[in-house]
Structure 1
Amino acid sequence: MFFDKRKGVILRMKELSSSQIRQMYLDFFKEKGHEVMPSASLIPHDDPTLLWINSGVATMKKFFDGSVVPKNPRITSSQKSIRTNDIENVGHTARHHTLFEMLGNFSVGDYFKEEAISWAWELLTSPEWFAMDKERLYVTVYPKDTTAKRIWNEVAGVPKDHIYEVEDNFWDIGQGPSGPDSEIFYDRGQKFNNLAEDDPENYPGGENERYLEIWNIVFSEFNHKPDGTYEPLPHKNIDTGMGLERVVSVFQNAPTNFETDLFLPIIKQTEDFSDGKKYGQVKENDVSFKVIADHIRAVTFAIGDGAIPSNEGRGYVIRRLIRRAVMHGQKLGIEQAFLYKLVPVVGQIMQSHYPEVLEQADYIAKIVRSEEDRFNETLKDGLELLNEMITEAKDKENKQLSGKTAFKLYDTYGFPIELTKEYANDQGMTIDQAGFDKEMEQQKERARAARGNAKSMGVQKGLLTDIKTESSYIGYDCLKSNGILKDIIFEDKIVDRVEKGSAQLIFDQTPFYAEMGGQVGDTGIIQDKQGTTVAEVTDVQHAPNGQNMHTVKVLFPLSKEKEYILQVNKQLHDKTRKNHTATHLLDQALRDVLGSHTHQAGSLVEPDYLRFDFTNLGAVTKEDLAKIERIVNEKIWENIPVETVETDFESAKKLGAIALFTEKYGDVVRVVKVGDYSIELCGGNHVDNTNELGLFKITSESGVGAGVRRIEAVTSKEAYEFLEKHNQLLEDISAQLKVAQLKEIPHKLDQYQAEIKELEQQKQALEDKFAQQQAGSIFKKVEQIKGKTLIKAQVKVSGMAQLRQLADQWKSQKYSDILVLATVTEDGKVNLITAASDEAVKAGLKAGELIKAIAPSVGGGGGGRPDLAQAGGKKPAGIPDALNAASKWLEQMA
């Protein structure tokens, strides 16, 4: 039992809910001085090495490799994560999941082993926290990590016989931070151990269900260098992970993770959809219940974070999960779409920590329903293909389906391999598993190649991390100021003076904006007190500790601690801030027109244009684009004041400010308000009044990924120039059409289109007449081959449409058994058509096989039905060979 401080009551261990466990973990480390970081989106931000956020530490990379220094070096979180490398095991094991939560506490160069171990033990065993039985807890250590072993025993008080040395306890993912780790196990008792008492695996860390790993503490203290050696890190870190699903199963005394309050409500709802099946009665059915419960959690959160089902990347994962769940639904007798009805159930379970799921439930359910309906159509085609392949294999007396066929069913139709195996087994057949695995591995290689070879975590460097200079940004109020040069980085070294070349500079204060929130960094010049330009600023980025770091081209020597004049390029800065304000107006206009589900997926604010990425299922219609553009311009014409307010994050949310999951917000945030129309958290530069934008014009709308659209637009001078360019184009068109006014262009074009249509009809009539004349002579030339008749010829017609007309005429008059016609199109390509009479098809002469035999002669290929087939090619000179090949084919087949 333990005391719940928030509710003021004593609870028994088995009464502790998943929400309470999660909150108590975060509360404990908050009391230890940790910042509680919200769960990041499942979609990685600026990390090409990851398809999904797959652990708590994945969101901490920038802190651990030193590229960013956190405001608070102590961080705790409950991070939602997705892993799909073991998807086939989900439902068959006690603890495999696609979506899971990782509770973690992290130290970035702050506390180390003694605190991490002591606090872990306190949280687990203290009566006012988790109150676990100390006798049931065991720990493992790396054999060479004598320090950790001593702390567990002497400081935490863990008996020596509860500490095991394990050689594998060393966390290493290649180049970057690494180090020994300690795992904590909970002894669930003999009833959870299916192994014999004397089994060598019956120990903490062994392959058994009795000793359940609930926590892993990594002592990150080495850099794994590119040459394979290890060196001490400049700053040692702590990285821990406690799987929420696992620890909940301990508190709720559940045989597996699925018998907890994280999954059971989903399973119970699925029971209601089934044809009377109940969880816990039939093992095969239980697998299906578990798969559905697991997959709908992952799908719900993934879609909620902006991913959309598709045939590639993250979208492919979502599509696969939905289809796998649908197939298992069918095994439970669920014939209609049902997964979408489970989305609100997931939202209710997770509401305490993830309220956004219920807020987006309607949108998420809509996407899931659409995908379910799509798969139910595909499912029929997949089953037909599978039955065809089984029949074909039986005809050849083959008792094994090829791995290629199984993979096609899996990859194209979403059939899990186990489903294909079941269908094959019912027919007395097996699957070429090795062939399937080969195809799967090739696909994984393609996916890995697509993500590139970027490092998963950079080697920690102390150079920039150690720069703690106080520096302030004053560019909201001025674009020219004095600043004392505090740090110079030249050729990866901190120096006191630089003569020429490229360098990075940090001043005590600066008017130069550092790239952030999509807005590019400022450019400009640095002058000495005499007004001589000594450096050109080409870019500004944030240093790890947050200072604005200026990348400059040094023209004359620069010295540390000397005062300089910093001057921003005002013209480019003003154009950039106009475009930044326009993105805020565009963001809100998109929500107004397309719906509240639309949210920002990225942006770029340059001086000459703006780019805005957003989530949406399909292309934005021309009508909606016009509405969006009109709304933004109306807000410009309304002369709305733009004001900024600095406040705390919670107050900003109460104001209705929109926050982005890709950004991390500090204690004080900046709210940009465009009247009451747009309210967003933003640290960028903006105009004082919307009328400064002058004009807003969308220049393009396109797709950049599954469910992500992109709008590019211009404002002010660039918008005028864009419209002027198009106006000049219209003037040129009107001159060519010989109309006096632009408004007459549509009428003139209608006239020309009518004339063109009439001419095309006349041309078609002449071509038909000419084709008929050719047919009169062609159909008289019949070749006799082994009792069968063949008509073959090269004709002069416009293309495949007229070849089909000739074939229809041939068939209606029954001129021969087989017909082969070829023509050369106006662009120099070859069209071939073959046809077989009903009698010929019955005799085994198929047009589709014939076309495959002759098409290579013209450098092409094709196919079709037994009675009619066609092909294309690019070698007109090969037509005589193709016609001769037709005669040889008939001679062989007749």
Structure 2
Amino acid sequence: MQTHEIRKRFLDHFVNAGHTEVPSASVILDDPNLLFVNAGMVQFVPYFLGARTPPWDRAVSIQKCIRTPDIDEVGITTRHNTFFQMAGNFSFGDYFKKGAIEFAWSLLTNPVEQGGYGFDPEKLWATVYLDDDEAIGYWQEVAGLPLERIQRRGMADNYWSMGIPGPCGPSSEIYYDRGPDYGIEGGPEANEDRYIEIWNLVFMQNERGEGTSKENFEILGPLPRKNIDTGMGIERVACLLQGVDNVYETDLLRPAIDLMAARAPRGYGQGNHADDVRYRIIADHSRTAAIIIGDGISPGNEGRGYVLRRLLRRIIRAAKLLGIEDAFMADLMATVRDATGPSYPELVNDFDRISRIAVAEEAAFNRTLASGSRLFEDAARATKATGASRLSGSDAFTLHDTYGFPLELTLEMAAEADLGVDEEGFRALMAEQRQRAKADAAARKQAHTDLSAYRELVDAGPTEFTGFDELTTEARILGIFVDGKRVPVVSHAGREGVHERVELILDRSPFYAESGGQIADEGHISGTGSSEAAKAAVTDVQKIAKTLWAHRINVESGEFVEGDTVIAAVDPQWRRGATQGHSGTHMVHAALRQVLGPGAVQAGSLNRPGYLRFDFNFQGALSDEQRAQVEEVTNEAVQADFEVHTFHEKLEKAKAMGAMAMFGESYPDEVRVVEIGGPFSLELCGGTHVGRSAQIGPVTILGESSVGSGVRRVEAYVGLDSFRHLAKERALMAGLASSLKVPSDEVPARVATLVERLRAAEKELDRMRLATARAAAVNAAAGAEQIGGVRLVAQRMAGGISAGDLRSLVGDIRGKLGSDPAVVALIAEADDDAVPFVVSVNPAAQDRGLRANDLITVLGGAVNGRGGGKADLAQGSGRGAAGIDAALEALRAEIGRS
């Protein structure tokens, strides 16, 4: 049974049982605890927490999930993927344990011709939480499972929570027995390779408190309503129904393995376990990378972008270890598209962009590998020079951490150089890094924001937004909140100096709540009638549960009482600037696509009055000509005074019209479309806009830069802020022209000439400074001290000497000291207030136990610095110039003790 059929049968089974099909959310959600969506229930968390009332009692979904904590284990085990599809059915206060077990058992065991999967009931096992006798009873009653195929397990295995305060409860897992070829008997407790978990039924009935581990937390009490959350692993079920040994050989992943095996000198499944792991890494990671890119992420150096980059680089490294040297990423991404596209059509529709980003990362990493290889060669040469037979753990770690070399690649290169590797030292450094990462992640992890105080108002219905049609609205106060707690009244009296978060919830509001890159409106809310003395400044507006407008205010006078009628008024000047910025963003987006091509699509934005920032997908920096073109096309569209037309349309029809959607965003069935100039700009957008494009005013692009691999950013001023910026530029040019006594159009050439002269003068000054230092070095060698049989040159150099110059001088001096034991230490106060220092120890001094990397620490301690290096040469830098003389004395004392 093909994977797409497995998905369809799951959805049909539950839709026919009264469940509402809910589409998969993006793998990227606005959740402080998650880098990626990692479980099927994540998009339903607000319903489980009680922060929002679910619109249905029963739901079913197949959620895209990504888990990367154990990324280094991918391919080694037979059942773990970084990307997987979690099929789940959910009950919100409807059916509970018995219903969940009935639905799961019938789908798994019903014959194929009746819509089931046709699993043999005799091969299915269940696990339950230690004291969950109720679940055991249902497994016997509903499924007819004998007690010997039901096992009780502890909290670590069969009690679910999110790892933070929130809903929790016992779970029951379903396992399939693959037979004696896969391991010993005894059920899941004995062997989870033979008995493979395919479905987890969570009976969400309690609320947990803080805790220190998965098994150590307090149960605060029962949830208001009992819920069901289940998760069936599509990949694992496919593995079983397709009769393959592991999840990497199913119909969705095997094509990638076959593609690469056709290119590699060594095939898949030929008895080489290490090669098989590499093939599985390629198959797994390529699909995950395509999904992540498809949801709007580009490779970067932090967060989600870093995970994506790491996945792509592991693919490339694995391919090289298989002996594949030619570029392959474009074909690999096409294979992923063909295999996965029937379930995820967005991979087909957006394939050009996905492939382009992956191919660019392949090219970039190949260049990085070349640089890392040079570092390896230097480290190998230095290792052999010291007589050692193993590359240090520190060198291996630097290759891994800086250049992305996996240990196996370093081991292979070291073997070719007749060297070993200090694997223990490498793993110790890796463990330290992981520990730091875990500590950082733990520090950022937090409980979900408690929205239960707002629930009554959320359930009552959304705030009516009137701001498209008016800037002043009469409204009623539905609720008042101070630091998240509902209060009946809030007043100005006694609030001076108090930094509480005060929020007013109104039934209607003209204020735009921050979303879609547009920051919230500012303005005032004032009382009416007997409360007309009440006045508050609105500083921010945020959405609660995406439906309720929370107006954050500073109470300036009087008091606000729940139920009062008020006047909410947006600052018209603020709104004018905000609409200019937002409409300007659409214009710049359209201009970028016109100049750079359709691949230059939005990756993020921010706009506020007079300013816009726009991130877009594009490989490489824009040329001066391209940047000028974008600015010109934008302003031509402004001057054309296009009408700005907004209308509502069904999502699919809007997309078919060509309306641009933001990657990673989820949209309702009916969307708002903003059209500027007919085909010039057509986007899905809920923001506020000008009436005609000429109202945007001039658009001045300030700059263009990189914000990650394949993502560029332009910033611009619009309207009056643009005019002011241009006026400053004009005044600056006039001032330069006056100072240089040339016409304005000759200023660039004259400045270039002056800069070239300055550079030449600086080079000559550096040459003279170094020549003077070299002369001093000759004298220093002649006047070397003798300390305990070691010739020592420990000298403070004149200011302005760089670290590179110090290394050169150290070499000159050491060469003049002959073969007797000798140490050279130079330290200087550089022009930038840094204190560079270098130590060199010749072989004879090393034989006496002196090491440059030890002595460098002595120097650094006195000048508030640190450094490192090898036994023969080390360098460092500090910030305490006052300690230079003390540093040299400490060095003399250390050598004297040797």
On whether the aligned pair clears a TM of 0.5, the verdict is yes
- 1:208/1:490 CA distance change after superposition, 3 Å: closer
Shifted more, 216-225 versus 785-794: the winner is 785-794
Does structure 2 conserve the Cα–Cα contact (< 8 Å) formed by 1:295 and 1:321? yes
Give 1:67-466 correspondences, 5 Å limit: 67-69=51-53, 71-72=55-56, 74-109=58-93, 111-126=95-110, 127-133=113-119, 134-154=121-141, 163-167=150-154, 168-172=157-161, 173-188=163-178, 190-195=179-184, 199=185, 202-204=186-188, 206-226=190-210, 228-358=218-348, 359=351, 360-378=353-371, 380-381=373-374, 384=377, 387=380, 395=387, 404-417=394-407, 433=424, 436-437=427-428, 439-446=430-437, 448-449=439-440, 452-455=443-446, 457-458=448-449, 461=452, 463-464=454-455
Give 1:608-623 correspondences, 5 Å limit: 608-617=610-619, 619-623=621-625
SS of residue matched to 2:638: helix
Offset at residue 517 of structure 1 (A): 1.8
Residue type of the alignment partner of 1:138: W
Q: 1:644 aligns with which of 637, 643, 646?
A: 646
Offset at residue 179 of structure 1 (A): 0.9
Residue type of the alignment partner of 1:477: D
Task: Tell me the distance in 1 between the aligned counterparts of 2:867 and 2:544.
Answer: 60
- 1:443/1:222 CA distance change after superposition, 3 Å: same
SS of residue matched to 1:713: strand
- 1:858/1:692 CA distance change after superposition, 3 Å: same
What RMSD over aligned residues (CA atoms) do the two structures have, in Å? 4.8
Deviations 1:827-857 (A, max 9, x none): 78778899999x9999999998999699769
- 1:758/1:783 CA distance change after superposition, 3 Å: closer
Task: Tell me the distance in 2 between the aligned counterparts of 1:559 and 1:402.
Answer: 70
Task: Tell me the distance in 1 between the aligned counterparts of 2:858 and 2:491.
Answer: 74
Task: Tell me the distance in 1 between the aligned counterparts of 2:766 and 2:66.
Answer: 59
Deviations 1:657-699 (A, max 9, x none): 2222443322221111112122111112111111111122233
Task: Tell me the distance in 1 between the aligned counterparts of 2:209 and 2:873.
Answer: 65
Does structure 2 conserve the Cα–Cα contact (< 8 Å) formed by 1:102 and 1:243? yes
2:214 maps to what in 1? none
Does structure 2 conserve the Cα–Cα contact (< 8 Å) formed by 1:363 and 1:597? no
- 1:559/1:253 CA distance change after superposition, 3 Å: same
SS of residue matched to 1:481: strand
Task: Tell me the distance in 2 between the aligned counterparts of 1:781 and 1:179.
Answer: 80
Task: Tell me the distance in 1 between the aligned counterparts of 2:549 and 2:779.
Answer: 82
Residue type of the alignment partner of 1:601: A
SS of residue matched to 1:229: strand
Residue type of the alignment partner of 1:547: L
2:714 maps to what in 1? 711
- 1:679/1:776 CA distance change after superposition, 3 Å: closer
Task: Tell me the distance in 2 between the aligned counterparts of 1:110 and 1:778.
Answer: 91
Correspondence 1:17 to 2:17: no
Give 1:607-686 correspondences, 5 Å limit: 607-617=609-619, 619-674=621-676, 675-686=678-689
Shifted more, 250-259 versus 604-613: the winner is 604-613
Offset at residue 294 of structure 1 (A): 1.8
Deviations 1:735-771 (A, max 9, x none): 4x16375334335435644665676688689879988
Task: Tell me the distance in 2 between the aligned counterparts of 1:143 and 1:833.
Answer: 64
Task: Tell me the distance in 1 between the aligned counterparts of 2:488 and 2:825.
Answer: 85
1:53 maps to what in 2? 37
Offset at residue 599 of structure 1 (A): 3.6
Task: Tell me the distance in 1 between the aligned counterparts of 2:379 and 2:771.
Answer: 47
- 1:34/1:659 CA distance change after superposition, 3 Å: farther
TM-score, normalisation: structure 1 = 0.82
- 1:268/1:118 CA distance change after superposition, 3 Å: same
Gapped runs of 5+ residues in structure 1?
1-15
1:541 maps to what in 2? 542
Deviations 1:377-401 (A, max 9, x none): 14534653675687589x468xx87
Identity of aligned residues (%): 34
Offset at residue 720 of structure 1 (A): 1.7
Task: Tell me the distance in 1 between the aligned counterparts of 2:808 and 2:451.
Answer: 74
Shifted more, 467-476 versus 441-450: the winner is 441-450
Offset at residue 251 of structure 1 (A): 1.4
Does structure 2 conserve the Cα–Cα contact (< 8 Å) formed by 1:482 and 1:565? yes
Residue type of the alignment partner of 1:100: F
Gapped runs of 5+ residues in structure 2?
211-216, 496-500
Offset at residue 252 of structure 1 (A): 0.7
Deviations 1:547-604 (A, max 9, x none): 3333445544545555443333222222212211122222333333444444433333
1:581 maps to what in 2? 583
TM-score, normalisation: structure 2 = 0.81
SS of residue matched to 1:52: coil
1:4 maps to what in 2? none
1:469 maps to what in 2? 460
Residue type of the alignment partner of 2:510: P
SS of residue matched to 2:325: coil
- 1:316/1:222 CA distance change after superposition, 3 Å: same
Shifted more, 97-106 versus 116-125: the winner is 116-125
Offset at residue 344 of structure 1 (A): 0.9
Does structure 1 conserve the Cα–Cα contact (< 8 Å) formed by 2:329 and 2:359? no
Task: Tell me the distance in 2 between the aligned counterparts of 1:504 and 1:752.
Answer: 58
Does structure 2 conserve the Cα–Cα contact (< 8 Å) formed by 1:527 and 1:533? yes
Does structure 2 conserve the Cα–Cα contact (< 8 Å) formed by 1:599 and 1:615? yes
Give 1:526-565 correspondences, 5 Å limit: 526-529=526-529, 532=532, 534-536=534-536, 537-544=538-545, 546-553=547-554, 555-565=557-567
Task: Tell me the distance in 2 between the aligned counterparts of 1:830 and 1:784.
Answer: 23
Does structure 2 conserve the Cα–Cα contact (< 8 Å) formed by 1:296 and 1:322? yes
Does structure 1 conserve the Cα–Cα contact (< 8 Å) formed by 2:393 and 2:424? yes
2:568 maps to what in 1? 566
Shifted more, 740-749 versus 643-652: the winner is 740-749
- 1:121/1:382 CA distance change after superposition, 3 Å: farther
Offset at residue 440 of structure 1 (A): 2.2
Does structure 2 conserve the Cα–Cα contact (< 8 Å) formed by 1:103 and 1:244? yes
Shifted more, 747-756 versus 878-887: the winner is 878-887
Offset at residue 887 of structure 1 (A): 11
Q: 1:698 aligns with which of 678, 698, 701?
A: 701
Does structure 1 conserve the Cα–Cα contact (< 8 Å) formed by 2:649 and 2:673? yes
Offset at residue 475 of structure 1 (A): 2.1
- 1:652/1:436 CA distance change after superposition, 3 Å: same
Task: Tell me the distance in 2 between the aligned counterparts of 1:403 and 1:814.
Answer: 34
- 1:764/1:204 CA distance change after superposition, 3 Å: closer
Does structure 2 conserve the Cα–Cα contact (< 8 Å) formed by 1:403 and 1:439? no
Q: How many residues align?
A: 865
Task: Tell me the distance in 1 between the aligned counterparts of 2:764 and 2:391.
Answer: 55
1:10 maps to what in 2? none
Asked which structure has the greater CA Rg, the reply is 1
Does structure 1 conserve the Cα–Cα contact (< 8 Å) formed by 2:50 and 2:452? yes
Shifted more, 366-375 versus 674-683: the winner is 366-375
Deviations 1:35-70 (A, max 9, x none): 54443443x333332233222233433443344555
- 1:640/1:855 CA distance change after superposition, 3 Å: same
Q: 1:39 aligns with which of 6, 9, 24?
A: 24
- 1:845/1:626 CA distance change after superposition, 3 Å: farther
Task: Tell me the distance in 2 between the aligned counterparts of 1:850 and 1:140.
Answer: 57
SS of residue matched to 2:116: coil
Does structure 2 conserve the Cα–Cα contact (< 8 Å) formed by 1:225 and 1:231? no
- 1:759/1:612 CA distance change after superposition, 3 Å: closer
Does structure 1 conserve the Cα–Cα contact (< 8 Å) formed by 2:393 and 2:421? no
